Structure 1
Amino acid sequence: MSAAGPQPIAGPPSAVIEQIAALGAFFAWEARPAPGTEPAPSPSDARDLDWQPLSAPLLAARVEAVREWLAAAGGQPAEAVETRVAASVAHLGLAARLVSPALAAAVLAHRPLVFPLSEVRWRPVLGGPVPLALPVGALGPACRSAEDLAELLAARLMAGALAELAAAFGPFGVSRHILRGNTASAVGGAAVTLAARRPERATSTRAFAGLLLGRAPLAGASSTEGGALRRRSCCLIYRAAPGRDGPLCGDCALAPRSPARGVPDSAS
């Protein structure tokens, strides 16, 4: 990458992780040995005992917990919220959690953060970003150019762990179109947050997010209008409100456009 402008975070992985964690809970992660290589935890060490894989049963429990939370927010019984709506919202939150540290590592350290979904560990708590642990070695060496780094992340993260995560939510009735849009929205949201917290990197953040969004598997899932991302689908959260008439997200395809741009025909 170019030597002009702010210099990338240097030093060992621990230094990179520490500086990225300072951006906030959506960006922080803990480096842990890959599953099967870590020593057995001490019974007194609750921090080790409550790290969990992103397993199908835990994701199903997550969907139900989000469904109950959305229903309670609208003063409704849980059955009033469609399962696919809760699943889409749960997926978007987890996608954002995996994408945010990877985007920060790319922009601030010029390093790829890649990992298989099977090696991700989390604490499935509601109310804010979930704690996240990634395997030691997930943070790779610096790339020579932003294009090379974007190619690597698109192939190994977006088409890897993020695609696996989307597939895990398919059984809940969420379409691939929506799940791909959720992932694109997660990239856009992470870029907005990172640019706000590191304004001197705002230009490079937007540029790198654009490189990711312009490559498979996310190419075509969103567009940029007036400098802001607009997805070509909807996360469905508006349907969780009473009467299925809640507010739309700022990047939603269903949000009204100016008359000159028209309104999309479908976002499902």
Structure 2
Amino acid sequence: MDLDPGLSALRPLGGFFVLRTAAPTARGPFILLSQVYDGTAGDVQQDPLSCRVRKVAAALRAPEARVAASVAQQGLAARLWSVALGCAALYGHVPDLDGRLLHWNPDGSAPDDLWLSQVRSLPGNAATVADTVLHGHLEPLAAALRTRHRLAPGLLRGNAASALAGAGRELERWARRNGRTDLAARARSLTADLLAHPLLTGTGTLAGTAFRRRSCCLYYRVPGGGVCGDCCFPRPPRSSPQATSG
């Protein structure tokens, strides 16, 4: 089944999977992600990525900007993976998420608000998904964040892998609840193949749908945050240097 213009099959999956394909009716600072990555966006205080980090920091009461930057990166990664995995599993195709077509509202609430201005169909295989999400977005996003914040490459890779595993797990759960064993198997296979990509290999261990990462996203440093379900730490560490390596 090819993609429909509204990507309507994604709607039952929930907010992380749904993607706007019609221009938003309300005014908002929707900016092409290509411009966010290369720094050519001309509004939202001239730096939409920093705007997003400040917004996340305020919402979480994060003690350091780099903590908010890590959480912001993982949130956007989760949205991108969810859209791509959901389409690959449901349609057998993925939309072209080129940063020159995909708009982002850095001032929006979570999950990140995305708008795709043109639906162009691509093959729904793991190689295409990796090219679309990893190379098209997460590599330039990580580079842009590292110019602004002290974030270890391993932390950002771990965030990307964690977001992928989480998206695959939610998709598989939805499929099983709805009696779609074929879709559940497709989601699991795609997730495993993508986690074996050279950019993600070594970031953690996947057992079924459970993922245990080898780095920490720093969320434990948020007041009342604790550790995430896939964290490398069984409990919040006492000192931060351990958690920033990777």
TM-score (norm 1): 0.74
- Written as runs of structure 1 = structure 2, the 5 A alignment for 1:96-115 is 96-115=78-97
Q: Give the secondary structure class of the aligned counterpart of 2:200.
A: coil
- Written as runs of structure 1 = structure 2, the 5 A alignment for 1:161-172 is 161-170=137-146, 171-172=148-149
**Aligned residues between the structures:** 222
- Written as runs of structure 1 = structure 2, the 5 A alignment for 1:73-88 is 81-88=63-70
The corresponding residue for 2:26 is 47
Q: Distance in 1 between matches of 2:95 and 2:60?
A: 32
Match of 2:154 among 170, 173, 177: 177
1:168 CA drift (Å): 1.7
Q: Distance in 1 between matches of 2:76 and 2:82?
A: 10
In the alignment, does 2:199 pair up with 1:217? yes
1:83 CA drift (Å): 1.2
Match of 2:222 among 219, 236, 240: 240
Q: 1:266 to 1:87 in 2, by over 3 A?
A: closer
CA-based RMSD: 2.4
Q: Distance in 1 between matches of 2:110 and 2:209?
A: 27
Task: Find runs of 4+ consecutive structure 1 residues off by over 3 angstroms.
Answer: 45-50
Q: Distance in 2 between matches of 1:189 and 1:126?
A: 22
Cα displacement string for residues 60-115 of structure 1 (whole angstroms, at most 9, x for unaligned residues):
011111111111xxxxxx6xx11111100011111111111001111111113333
Greater CA radius of gyration, 1 or 2?
A: 1
TM-score (norm 2): 0.80
Cα displacement string for residues 217-248 of structure 1 (whole angstroms, at most 9, x for unaligned residues):
21221211464111111110101227xxx410
- Stretches of structure 2 that go unaligned for 5 or more consecutive residues are 40-46, 236-241
- Stretches of structure 1 that go unaligned for 5 or more consecutive residues are 1-9, 34-44, 72-77, 144-148, 257-264
The corresponding residue for 1:37 is none
Calculate percent identity across the aligned residue pairs: 34
Q: 1:219 to 1:113 in 2, by over 3 A?
A: farther
Q: Give the secondary structure class of the aligned counterpart of 1:252.
A: coil
- Written as runs of structure 1 = structure 2, the 5 A alignment for 1:17-28 is 17-28=7-18
- Written as runs of structure 1 = structure 2, the 5 A alignment for 1:1-268 is 10-14=1-5, 17-31=7-21, 46-47=25-26, 50-54=29-33, 55=36, 56=39, 57-71=47-61, 81-140=63-122, 142=123, 149-170=125-146, 171-199=148-176, 200=180, 201-225=183-207, 227-241=209-223, 246-255=225-234, 268=245
Q: 1:253 to 1:267 in 2, by over 3 A?
A: farther
